Structure 1
């Protein structure tokens, strides 16, 4: 009898535990569902019932207004206009907001419009000495540029380029170098009166290491081997942001490239093992007149650089675009000179007031950047209506559910009718670009949210919902 009572108690406890566990799982699932699908967005139907295009535009505006009024966090600015200059919806469109990576839309527009889609980064080689019987009695000089592929250390392709340089030097008759490798980074500092040391042109950036090799990754991360539950070994790399290959690093431009070239030349037996890289930047004491031009290497086109800048949202590429503008137009590859080019373009070409922006960099990483949604829309409009490079600019933008930073967003049958740029830094989410609706109405849109704290998921869902509504016009 006691055994039966004891067994009944055990069964009762076990059943209670199972019921509680089931309730906890269901509650957790419900909470996940709530987090993923905000109530205000779920309540808004994505169908537009108007029979005419004008009716659907008005209905769409009402629904966007409903969504914005029900939001619980942050401040927003929205500007949506058609190619016919009709305003579908506007909310605080002339207020200044932190744009995050939406600033890349402006940087890349100015770069491709002023430099041209076919512009290529150039790296020059000179010799400082005499070449006789295959031996260079002197130094090999590498003139650094703002080429984003070569000036950083985030792309394994740099090794292929360097190996090609070694072969090219041989074709030019250089089999042995009895000197050092000189890296001249004067492109970054221009013809300043005061000499600038090589160390003074260092800068910080958030770099994307998705295309880096193991050697490049080892510069910025720690690796350790762990055992999994099934007893297998797994290599874990620490030092990057969660679920990404982004990392804040300090760059001394072209140094990694020069060191890689030196190592390749030494491995090929073309330079002594004790040879080194001598880094110089602008100085009036250096006599460059005795240098003899050898050849130039031309890297990726600007059109290709824009794809990395906008589709992948590469911050380093964007800031290098800005430095390139400064170098090509003012002889100084700096952020400051690049911003002067951008401001002149916005004033003289896009014809917007200087009150609509405050710019600090080209990538949007800084929280000191401010633009209006109206400015972004006007930039997008200018590129469509006036730029000869519009096709390359348009195709550099991400396609929802297909590629880039929009690969998993705006799940809609007409998502391929959108080309847009995302943006995200702490407390900021943005989305701007081009859109063609179901009825063929073409439009520009810019949606920027600030003051979100560390919660941006709902703001992104809001952006996606607005785009889905616009597609139904």
Structure 2
């Protein structure tokens, strides 16, 4: 017999409504699709902290992307909303009669938005950098284009992420020189014959050295069920799964094997295309060190030419929560570690986030943080922690920036199709979380008599993900109706 702990604080005025919600909750948790599930739920009135409902709110449960709320809250308060991270263009050697006798160095400062689709892409960035070179009179480079991503560790993937994820765009690792969202696109074509092998039409952008072992087949299923396998610095990837039959230019997104190398390659190509000759090839500081070959200029004194500031922390937080961008969340986590412990890695960032939560005196029993985005199944949080954080952020000096980063029911981000009926559209702000057999939603319900903070996390349900989403919607609708009534 499942142990169910359900407490309610019921005011005299609202007792019938609260009792009705208790009945709804009792019925909801008895759903046959939840008979083997782990469920955590809590809802409180933000202004009074009055408990509305609770179910196993102290259980440690895998949150998926709900974890991003912790990372982004810490980033806003520790960095402030206006902080930006810089990428700089330097050179070694000397300039004589329009010729640079040395190397161009692209020095990464940890900006995740460099060339990002959320930040206008890379073309204006490249145009600005090439113009800076022309302003110095440079028309030829007797050296290389070298990317320096040494601010971050070389191994860029949290060790508890699964193999199925890390070859795909949502599982890309961080880099001090992250570029174009660390993502490339493969265009497939499929025949009308089911289970036939597909062909690769092209890759955008071109990724040097990359080969794809294509095992993707055609299918009756109209969804993208293709996956890429291969980790960081692995230039031999395998594509498996299916795409719909009878399609051309069907795009699947993968994670770049080496974003810094990709940047160096593409910028060198840009220089040549605008008439600046580059004698030598492109490279990265990491590859130079691994080769153990002499390359004196790469480690010599450099002179600064130009710099590019990325999106502000406010904007990074907005895209992290609104669009659930794993790359931005992982960057913010690593940058927090760099800020406090001078180590731009996941464990250092997790330590900073946990210390931030402790400073707010939030309940941390059962809480384990192993990344910044929620991709790892080794993360655990409680519904109690999530609602406590939401209450705390409501009174924070960063409350406005935090709330503006949240998706809105029926209107924006990952909530666009969530609670989108006329009576709930625009009423709920929050963050969703999803991975196989995990669904989570945490946020605010904005009512006339004040906001409600809620968190619902479900692991190991027996139905489909879409069915679980509908079940959570029904529970939250019941909560809204009974609080209104």
Matched, 1:422 2:432: yes
Partner of 2:41: 78
| Counterpart residue number, 2:398 | 389
1:77-96 aligned at under 5 Å gives the runs: 77-83=40-46, 84-96=48-60
Matched with 2:350 is 339
Residue 69 of structure 1 corresponds to which residue in structure 2?
30
Native 8 Å contact 2:63 2:374 kept in 1: yes
Distance in 2, matches of 1:310 and 1:463, equals 19
Structure 1 residues 174 and 326: CA distance shift in structure 2, 3 A: farther
Aligned to 1:192: none
TM-score, length-scaled by structure 1: 0.76
Task: Encode CA deviations 1:270-300: one digit per residue, 9 max, x unaligned.
Answer: 23264322333897x9885622223321011
Q: CA, structure 1 residues 444+361, in 2 after alignment: closer, same or farther (shift >3 Å)?
A: same
Change (3 A) 1:423 1:319: same
Mean Cα deviation higher: 65-74 or 426-435: 65-74
Residue number in structure 1 paired with 2:263: 257
| Aligned residues of 1:144 and 1:151 also touching (Cα < 8 A) | no
Tell me how far apart the structure 2 counterparts of residues 238 and 90 of structure 1 sit (CA, whole Å): 37
Change in CA separation of 1:376 and 1:349 when aligned onto 2, cut-off 3 Å: same
Q: In structure 2, the residue corresponding to 1:120 is in which secondary structure?
A: coil
- Which residue of structure 2 aligns with residue 111 of structure 1? 75
In the TM superposition, what is the alpha-carbon distance from 1:254 to its structure 2 partner? 2.8
Among candidates 100, 107, 113, match of residue 136 of structure 1 = 100
Secondary structure of the 2:457 match is: strand
Tell me the SS of whatever aligns to 1:72. helix
CA–CA distance in structure 1, aligned partners of residues 388 and 439 of structure 2: 20
Greater CA deviation, 338-347 or 235-244? 235-244
Alpha carbons 1:79, 1:90 under 8 Å: kept: yes
Once the two structures are superposed, the pairs formed by residues 18-417 of structure 1 within 5 Å of their partners are 52-73=13-34, 74-83=37-46, 84-150=48-114, 157-189=121-153, 200-201=155-156, 204=166, 206-207=168-169, 219-224=184-189, 226=191, 239=226, 247=253, 249=255, 251-272=257-278, 274-280=280-286, 290-353=301-364, 355-386=365-396, 388-412=397-421, 413-417=423-427
Q: Aligned equivalents of 1:153 and 1:180: distance in 2? A: 27
Deviations 1:303-358 (A, max 9, x none): 221222111111122112212212222222211221121111111234333x3311
Contact 1:352 1:375 in 2 (8 A): yes
Q: What secondary structure, in the 3-state scheme, does the structure 1 residue paired with 2:461 have? A: coil
Q: 1:165 to 1:250 in 2, by over 3 A?
A: closer
1:168-194, Cα deviation, whole Å (9 max, x unpaired): 3323443332211121111103xxxxx
The 2-side partners of 1:336 and 1:218 are apart by 24
The CA distance in 2 between the partners of 1:163 and 1:250, in whole Å, is: 23
Gaps of 5+ in 2: 1-10, 159-165, 172-179, 194-200, 202-217, 219-223, 228-241, 245-249
Are 2:147 and 2:263, in contact at CA under 8 Å, matched by a contact in 1? no
Larger Rg: 1
Question: What do residues 337-388 of structure 1 show as CA deviations (whole Å, max 9, x unaligned)?
Answer: 21121111111234333x33111111111111111111111111221112x2
Q: Distance in 2 between matches of 1:308 and 1:162?
A: 23
SS in 2 for 1:416: coil
CA offset at residue 238 of structure 1?
A: 8.0
How many Å separate the matches in 2 of 1:188 and 1:271? 30
User: CA, structure 1 residues 433+227, in 2 after alignment: closer, same or farther (shift >3 Å)?
Assistant: same
- Alpha-carbon distance in 2 for matches of 1:122, 1:217: 17
Which one of 415, 439, 444 corresponds to residue 434 of structure 1? 444
Pair 1:333–1:357, CA change in 2 (3 A): same
C-alpha displacement of 1:448: 0.4
Q: 2-side partners of 1:52 and 1:71: how far apart?
A: 34
* Local SS of the residue matching 1:369: coil
Distance 1:453 1:201 in 2: 34
Superposition CA RMSD, Å: 3.4
Distance 1:451 1:225 in 2: 34
Asked if 2 retains the 8 angstrom alpha-carbon contact of 1:420 and 1:433, the reply is yes
Q: From the superposition, tell whether residues 459 and 227 of structure 1 become closer, same or farther in structure 2 (CA, over 3 Å).
A: closer
Q: 1:327 to 1:289 in 2, by over 3 A?
A: farther
Alpha carbons of 1:87 and 1:71: their partners in 2 closer, same or farther (altered >3 Å)? farther
Question: What is the TM-score of this pair, normalised by structure 2?
Answer: 0.74
